[in-house]
Structures are given as C-alpha cells and as structure tokens.
Structure 1
Amino acid sequence: MNKEKLKVGRISVIINTLNESSNITDVIDNVIDWVEEVIVVDMFSDDGTAEMARKAGAQVYSHERLGYADPARAYAVSLASQEYVLLLDADERIPFELAKKLVDFSHSREVDVLVIPMRNFLFGKEIKHTGWGMNNDFHPRFFKKISMVFSAEVHNFMHIVPGAKVIHMKPDPLNAMIHFNYIDIKQFVYKMNNYTNAEVKKIRSTNFKKAFALAIVEFLRRFIKMRGYKDGWHGVVLSTLMSVYVLLSHFKFMESRKGLDAPELYKSESRKIINDFKE
C-alpha cells in the first residue's frame, strides 16, 4: 500500500456505464479521493449500476441506451464542472504514479490534452502486441474541457481543438492506464456485433472481393506487422477476431443495401401456410 496521500486535482472524472455492477464500485474507489467530482452517466442499467455508483459517491445521470458509449460521452463531458476532464471506462484503472502526474498537470495547467498509453488485459492476459500493447494503444483521456470536441463516430468520437498543446506520454508502465478489457471470446463477439452496426455507417461501397481482401490485410497487420505472434494463442485469436470484425461490417453493409424485410417476408409466408388449412 502506498502511504503517500495525493492532493485533490482540479479534475472531473467521467464514466459512462451500462450494466457495470461488477466494476463500478472499484473504478469510483480508484479516483474519488483525488479528484473534485466523479460523474457517472448510465444508460438505464438493469443490474443496479446507477444505485451502486451513487452509494460509492458519484453524481449519477441517465442517457438513452445505445449499443456503444461514444455518442453519450459528449453529454457526459458537458456536465463536468472542472477545467480538466478524465475519461474512464468502468473496467479501467489509474495507477498511483499516473494519478500523481494527472493531479500535478491539473494544477500547473501546462497541458491542454494528455495522450495516455494503455496496458490492456484480454482473455485473462496482458496483451503486449497485436495492436493492444502500450506502443500501439494511446488515447487522449485527460484534457481541458475546452480543448476537445465530439462527434457520433464510433471509436473516433473525440477531436482535439486546433492549436491545443498536446503531450504524448511515453509508453512506460508508470505512465499507463490499466484496461481490464474483454473477459472472454463470448464478450468480445457480443460487443463486436454492436460496434459493427456503427461501422456500417462509415462504409461507402464494398463487394465480396474487397471485404475478404480487407479482412486478410487486417489479420496480417495485427499478427505480423504488430507482432501478434508474440502474444501466442491470444495473438492468433485476436487477429482472427479483428479480421472477422472487418468482414462482419462489410457483410452488414451489403445486407443494408439489399432492402430485404425479413420479418415481413416471414409473416407473409406464415400466413400462406396457415391459409392452406382454411381453404
């Protein structure tokens, strides 16, 4: 246990949630003693997340339920009262040494945006390659409220204001956030379904040849270029899943252009079968 006590930073912590009862208490406990406020924006969880967040000391607000949190973050950030905002997911943690630096930055005001490296744990192991290592995974999670604007684009919803002073922290464990990412393949596939629904909006045209070519490129990029092979079994699985992510996005785009109304078709065929018994 670190006996050094942190002074309070001029920071609003923002946490967007949907059914995070297993994480919400810990993530609030991680930050509440060294920031001015913790704001949780919950998407009508049905597992008691909002109630647990209030009990842990957070301010709690509600937002319509979506398949992913990004579009709700702009609303969440608008609620912040402090000059600096720290964005956290419920499955992320801030180690002590990083917290000290964030507090110091909030008082010195020498940075507008801080890009922080991530240490990612997936399927029960820290992933050091495959695109999830500290050298590959950086995010602008700490920033002055006036230095960031937001869009609804999934995984690309934050945009730094031109002219902002940006500092990229070195990929060192003392600088990194911890992300307890996907627990298992089941959770990965479940969330992939939601994320690929949003990816469809970014695709302008495609065909089978293009879809499979992009999927192969994605596998090779993660497994070879990003050295996913060094992550062993995890690298093979994650590279494959991300290539499936590409395929699924393009297949869903193709489906959307077909104009098929499966429920109406099935209803019509069902009535035909039933009517055969009545003639």
Structure 2
Amino acid sequence: MSKLTVIILAKNEEQNIVDCINSAKFADDILVIDDFSKDRTVTLAQELGARVIQHGLDGSWEQQKNFAIKESQGEWIFFLDADERISEELAKSMQDAINNPEKGSYLVQRENKFHHNEATHGVLRPDWVLRLCPRDGAMVLGNVHEKLTSPYDESNLKGILYHYTYDNWDQYFRKFNQYTSLLAIQYQERNKKVSFVKDIIFRPLWAFIKMYILQGGFKDGKMGYILSVNHYFYTMTKYVKLYYLYKSGGKL
C-alpha cells in the first residue's frame, strides 16, 4: 500500500489540473476522479502520471468523495480541489505528519486568491479545513459544503493551501445557482422548516452584517462589499428555493 494518496475531483479542469497535480508531486499516489470531462483534463492528468478513474458526480459530492476514498491506494488520504495548490511548507508538514508513528487527522489553513483582486476578510477570509487523515475510518458527509470526518484526533499543519476561487463572474454565479439549489433540496430532505419572515427577510440581512461588518468584509473595499451583498442573496436564494419546494414543488 502507498503511503499517501492525494485525491482530486475534477470536471473540465484543463486550465487547473496541471498546476494542481504538480503541487502534489511529492505524493505516492495521485488519484483523479473525473466526472466525464469533455476537455483535456483526463489526458493532461495521465501525462503527469496521475491515476484517473471516471465516475459520475450525479449531484452528490458526498458519494463522489466516498467513492474516491474506496479507490485510494494510500494509507493516508488528502483531498485537493482542482483549483487549489499545496505550498512547499504545507507539503513538508504533510510528509512529517504521515511519517509520524502516532496517527492523527490534520486541518490545513486555506487562503483564497483571485487572479486580479484581493479579498482576505468576510466571505473569503482564511479558514481551517480537515483534509489529511488516515484512510481507515475516513468518511465524507453532506452533499453541499461536505465535510471529511475521521476518528483520529485533530491538529493543525503548518503551511498554506492556496485556493484560486473563481476565474470570472459567470463561473461564480453558476456555482451560486448550483449550490443554492442543492442546499434547498438537502434542507427539504431533512425536513428543515422555513419561515418567510425569519429566513427570507431577516436571515439574509444578518448574513450581510456578519460578513461585511463583523468579519471585516469592509476592509476589502469594493470586492468585499460585492461579496458580502452576494452572500446576502445567496442566503436568501437557498431559502426562497426551499420555501417554494414546500409550497409548490419548486414551480412558480
């Protein structure tokens, strides 16, 4: 069995996949789970020595990632998005962790980056995410904003995981629409209640205040304001979709 499998979920990521894989070259096994890309993602990944398995997402990140865990050959796994890059310091920390006889699960600090803008507060402030853990006992839960879970004690790794968020606004709003729809469906499956006044009028306002003022989005200037307003509409939209799923099956 390999020591470490880096797992990359991808679909039509030819612009990202090369830099992504190159940042993970220290791993024993690089596994790309491809959702039937129509561009050169598969070819480029294979040329770089990655192992590629095609498997349909079918609207569930949870099942796709759990499938990837089963296909991993490493004793350890690390989830890496195609638009993320492992820094040299993080790579070293990961290698130190997996060579430690005492097993644990590890969070990494993710820093969001744009190509031409900067936003380091509010919605896109740096966060800590669980990404590295032993394969044994690992599981992913949740269809949207899914989380990796592990039975081992958690600690933090040194080094940054760089996340190149969005190339353009079209991509941003495609994900906006996709995620709000999936969240509404997930909430309905859990029988989550929705109130027009509380969740569609007041909750989005609180979401804006929290991101723009309390989390410092105002410090990021124009981009901070735009992202905070979009977070208002993101919050409202997922509850509007949920409200009408209950009311009329989502039809207007």
User: Normalized against structure 2, the TM-score is what?
Assistant: 0.90
For the 8 Å contact 1:67–1:195, the answer to whether it is kept is no
Distance 1:88 1:50 in 2: 16
8 Å contact kept, 1:28–1:56? yes
Which letter maps to 1:234?
A: M
Question: Which of 62, 80, 85 lines up with 2:77 in the alignment?
Answer: 85
Match of 2:3 in 1: 10
Shift of 1:36: 0.5
Counterpart-to-counterpart distance in 1, 2:38 and 2:206: 39
- Compute the RMSD of aligned alpha carbons: 2.1
Confirm or deny: 8 A CA contact 1:124 1:183 kept in the other structure. Answer: no
CA offset digits 1:8-53 (Å, max 9, x no partner): x921000000110101111112212x11110000111111211221
**Identical amino acids, percent of aligned pairs:** 26
Name structure 1 gaps, 5 residues minimum. Answer: 1-8, 266-279
Q: Which residue of 2 is the match for residue 4 of structure 1?
A: none
- Counterpart of 2:219 in structure 1 is 230
Distance 1:74 1:216 in 2: 36
The yes-or-no answer on 1:60 pairing with 2:52 is: yes
Residues 233 and 155 of structure 1: CA distance in aligned 2, closer, same or farther (over 3 Å): same
Q: Partner residue of 2:187?
A: 202
Aligned equivalents of 1:114 and 1:187: distance in 2? 30
- 3-state SS of the aligned residue for 1:175? strand
**Whole-Å separation in 2 of the counterparts to 1:218 and 1:150:** 26
Displacement of 1:217 in angstroms is: 0.7
CA change 1:105–1:260 in 2 (3 A) is closer
Give the total of aligned pairs.
Answer: 246
Matched residue SS, 2:52: strand
User: Deviations 1:127-176 (Å, cap 9, x if unpaired)?
Assistant: 21114223xx1100111112422224311332232xx221024xxxx611
> 1:123 Cα shift?
6.3
Q: Deviations over 1:174-200 (max 9, x none)?
A: 611000111232211110111111211
| Residue 217 of structure 1, aligned match among 177, 183, 206 | 206
1:21 partner amino acid: E
Query: Which of 94, 106, 112 is equivalent to 1:102?
Result: 94
Structure 1 residues 83 and 50: CA distance shift in structure 2, 3 A? same
Residues 61, 143 of structure 2: 8 Å contact kept: no
Cα displacement string for residues 228-249 of structure 1 (whole angstroms, at most 9, x for unaligned residues)? 0111111111111111111110
1:41 and 1:110 map into 2 onto residues whose CA distance is: 29
Shift of 1:261: 8.2
Does the CA contact (< 8 Å) of 2:106 and 2:154 recur in 1?
yes
Task: Give the gaps of 5 or more residues in structure 2.
Answer: none
Match of 1:272 in 2: none
Q: Residues 68 and 127 of structure 1: is their aligned pair in 2 closer, same or farther, counting only changes over 3 Å?
A: farther
TM-score normalised to structure 1 length: 0.82
Match of 2:160 among 163, 176, 179: 176
Contact 2:57–2:63 under 8 Å retained in 1: no
Amino acid at match of 2:68: A
Name the counterpart of 2:139.
149
Check whether the contact 2:9–2:33 (CA below 8 A) recurs between aligned residues: yes
- Displacement of 1:67 after TM fit? 4.5
Pick aligned residue for 1:75 from 64, 67, 70: 67
Letter in 1 for 2:113: F
Task: Report if the CA contact (8 A) 1:122-1:184 is conserved.
Answer: no
